[in-house]
Amino acid sequence: MLSPFNVTPDPIDATEVRAAVLAPDCGAVVVFHGTVRNKTGARSVTHLEYEAFAPMAIGEMQKIAEEMVRTHGVHRVACTHRVGRVEIGEDAMVMAVSSPHRAAALAAVADFIARLKQDVPIWKKEYFDGGAVWIGTPENPQGEGEMPAPVARERDA
């Protein structure tokens, strides 16, 4: 079985990520796919390119996962993130959390992603017709708001 945290240029097999967290005493397994969407705001996106400082990224994922286990009481966390070119509709990342009960697992998924976007050394370059920009810089902030609740927003409609 794969290690729970990976950075890979290959398409992600979500069943492997899920398998890394399964445990008989867990009644909840939440698997989240972060997929490449075809636009940011009004801009059409053609594809993304990810870059990672792999050993550090894996180490930071591990630290955040340990924190999720401590703070949310979840059983296990796994996460695999792509690097290189990723096409529209493909998974850029897949993560899974197992927990005895669902509330903790759902919360830990949201929390883990928020922390990943802050502290894991992985960079995203967004390609559109006529150019490309690194996302997360002061000029091109991450488009997604932190998520207090999954309420419908206009751009999700």
Distance between CA atoms of residues 45 and 32, nearest Å:
22
For the segment 98-117, give every residue that binds another protein (CB under 8 A): 113, 116-117
Sign of CA pseudo-dihedral 74, 72, 116, 64: negative
Query: Shortest Cβ distance from residue 143 to another protein (Å)?
Result: 10
Span interacting with another protein, options 23-31, 101-109, 129-137, 149-157, rule CB under 8 A:
129-137
Distance between CA atoms of residues 71 and 103, nearest Å:
13
Query: Shortest Cβ distance from residue 29 to another protein (Å)?
Result: 20
Q: Is 93 in the site for another protein (CB under 8 A)?
A: yes
Distance between CA atoms of residues 147 and 149, nearest Å:
5
One residue of 17, 20, 57, 104 binding another protein per CB under 8 A: 57
For the segment 1-30, give every residue that binds another protein (CB under 8 A): none
Inter-residue contact 50 to 93 (CB < 8 Å): no
Distance between CA atoms of residues 54 and 76, nearest Å:
21
Q: Which residues bind another protein (CB under 8 A)?
A: 34, 50-53, 55-57, 59, 81, 92-93, 113, 116-125, 134-138, 142
